[in-house]
A and B are shown apart, each in its own frame.
Chain A
Amino acid sequence: MTGDPDEALLARVARGDPAAVRALMGRKLPRLMSLSQRMLGVAAEAEDVAQEVFVRVWKQAPHWKPGAAKFDTWLHRVALNLCYDRLRRRREIATADPPDAPDEGPAPDRGLQAADTGARVSQALQQLPDRQREAIVLCHYQELGNIEAATIMGVSVEALESLLSRGRRALRAALADMVER
């Protein structure tokens, strides 16, 4: 055993053990939904990503070699790659077909949206540069340690810290009316 908490479960998944398949899904799906929704901001797209990730998980399980990397680290990397594919596609579509200018006038539900803290935070997070958002999602929401988050992002711990600081500063500015001082 390598100390990877998912190793034994993966071995059972590889044998097609139905209880293990359900247990792995129960353990990882909420984390994948959290990661994908916070990266993409859209629940339906996050579900598509989660489904694609699991297709890869089921394929990978019989070939998983313990010791090379933690399964959870690999899982995050796969999910993030799929999120970035979608973000890239969005930008290509937006460039080819720019959306109409946002309507700044009053709208019946604008007050409601402003009152919804979660929606405001989601919106502010989507406005961040991708790498700053990724750093905050990994460290704050996924509660990964700085070394593991930096490994997943392929950056140094110092670079991660810089991304986190800039991201949080931008969020504080965007949510200034809601942040208690």
Chain B
Amino acid sequence: MNRQRFQELAEAYGGEVARWPLAEREAAALLMAEDPDFTRQTLAEADSLDALLDAWRPAPASSRLMEAILAVAPAPRPQPRWRGWLMPAGLGAGLAAACAAGVLFGVQLEQRAAGGDASVSAVADLDLSGLSEDV
């Protein structure tokens, strides 16, 4: 980078090299090391305008504006109604199924222990009709 390009960049982007185009910052840093007086003077001139520009601070948004913006914001999507009762219903069905499986398992163990064919009558005695109501 030569002096002319350094000056062009300072005149366009200001006195803060960090705001200059990324691709030119490294070359600028090299010139700053090689030619400190010129580069310091150039950046100082650009800085003085930057400081003036920064003196103008915009007014913050009013609370009236924020309320108006929020008033038309997307509303939370309502939860589908079925989700309200499906969860307890599903939980109930699951518990009932687990109970039934436990009973069956217990009966089978009992049958094996007894060595007989009592399972047929034991299973026939189980009332599983309530499961369908919960599902």
Task: Kindly provide the distance from the CB of A91 to the nearest chain B CB, expressed in whole angstroms.
Answer: 23
A150, B62: Cα distance in complex, Å = 31
Q: Is B126 close to A, CB under 8 A?
A: no
Question: CB < 8 Å: which of B46, B53, B76 contacts A17?
Answer: B76
Q: With a CB–CB cut-off of 8 A, which chain A residues contact B69?
A: 25, 29, 50-51, 54
* Interface-side segment among B11-19, B27-35, B96-104, B107-115: B11-19
Kindly identify, within residues 72 to 119 of chain A, every residue whose CB is under 8 Å from any CB belonging to chain B.
Answer: 117-119
Task: Kindly provide the distance from the CB of A127 to the nearest chain B CB, expressed in whole angstroms.
Answer: 14
A33-B61, A118-B57, A121-B56 in contact; A58/B73 too (CB < 8 A)?
yes
Q: With a CB–CB cut-off of 8 A, which chain A residues contact B66?
A: 25, 29
Q: With a CB–CB cut-off of 8 A, which chain B residues contact A136?
A: 53
Question: CB < 8 Å: which of B14, B62, B74 contacts A61?
Answer: B74
Kindly identify, within residues 5 to 62 of chain A, every residue whose CB is under 8 Å from any CB belonging to chain B.
Answer: 13-18, 21-22, 25, 29-30, 33-34, 37-38, 43, 46-47, 50-51, 54-55, 58, 61-62
| CB-based A-B contact count at 8 angstroms | 116
* Residue interface mask B4-40, A partner, CB < 8 A = 1: 0000100111100001011000000000000000000
Q: Are the C-beta atoms of B61 and A50 separated by less than 8 Å?
A: yes
A175, B52: Cα distance in complex, Å = 9
Q: Is B87 close to A, CB under 8 A?
A: no
A125, B54: Cα distance in complex, Å = 12
Q: Are the C-beta atoms of A47 and B62 separated by less than 8 Å?
A: yes
A17-B76, A143-B19, A169-B11 in contact; A47/B48 too (CB < 8 A)?
no
Tell me the B residues contacting A by CB distance below 8 Å.
8, 11-14, 19, 21-22, 45-46, 48-50, 52-53, 55-62, 65-66, 68-70, 72-77
Lowest 8 CB-CB distances: which A-B pairs, in order?
A37-B58, A164-B12, A16-B76, A121-B56, A117-B55, A118-B56, A180-B48, A16-B74
Sample (7) of A-B pairs whose CB atoms are under 8 Å apart: A21-B73, A29-B61, A30-B61, A54-B69, A58-B72, A136-B53, A178-B52
